[in-house]
Structure 1
Amino acid sequence: MKEWIRDIGVAVCAVLLTLQFVQTARVSGVSMQPNFQPNDLLFLSTQSYNNRDPKRGQVVIFRSALKDQNGKKELLIKRIIGVPGDTVIIRNGRVRVNGKEQKSDYTKDLTTNGDITVLVPKDSYFVMGDNRLHSVDSRFSDVGFVRRESIRGRVVFRILPLNRIGRTLDTGERR
């Protein structure tokens, strides 16, 4: 009996400890297709950026200025395209960061709408959805630059659906 109680105690401690470092989030839209689908259940690391900066190509979940039906700020999932100090240029369907054209083989559409030139401010990030034609992201004033403190975590693992369970991949890597 004591071993059973001890095992339950260890399991409860493990779950509580895990919840300090990992949260779950569910994808609710199509802006990250083909890499993330509606209703995908994801683990995000809430500690990823405590001692290091977010990097280009990483997928993050952040609290946006957009409001849901209840008036609460929406959580969005997007890919980091530009980091502080980067110059992001979108023109003629192409995305360039600091003069270098970005790979687009992970996007749903191989072209990107917009005619934008921006300098990413300190402590901010330029983010875009992988489904560029159906994404409200940093190209639009409703989202704009994402402040570092708005980032809830880095997407690291897909839990559901079971046929797609596994580690999530950064820019250029496809499932």
Structure 2
Amino acid sequence: MRGGRHGGPFAIEIDLGEGPRRGGGGRRRFDGDELRLILLKLIAEAARHGYDLIREIEARTGGAYAPSPGVVYPTLTLLDEMGLIEQAASEGTKKLFAATPAGEAHLAEHAEKVEALLARLTDLSDARARGEGGPVRRAMHNLKAAVIGRVSQGAETETLHAITDILDDAARRIERL
């Protein structure tokens, strides 16, 4: 197989910013302390359960980010153990959480940081609305799927060379834009 200046047919990893995150690898949008503050703030606004928090963050980012349940639920447990939230009366099986007076005081103490974190949520939404990388990211995913699909079918050397030439040509054309 021949790899051009930009790598072979498998070297098409390009970081154009992150799309929706639903687990898996990649960097986190918010560290643990930041996510705790965001969740606490949202719970202080209205009693919520875990899935509702995930949906609310996704809505506030315009779909650009949704924390995974594997991060949200342990964080809720921690907030509960810290005495910042407590289980509220709920209908059904989902645990509904409300902020405690200690949680409200914690938010007041960190009000400036909380506002900055909420602004970051809005910034993610604004960037998504502007389409920063969106159509390009979609096209890259389509390209990646097409290349991997074709190569995994057991393409012959001639086909692999043709794919590599197409990718290298596309890279050169984009660089000239």
Could you say which TM-score interval applies, normalised by the shorter chain? Answer: under 0.3
TM-score of the pair, normalised by structure 1? 0.26
TM-score of the pair, normalised by structure 2? 0.26
Structure of greater Rg: 2
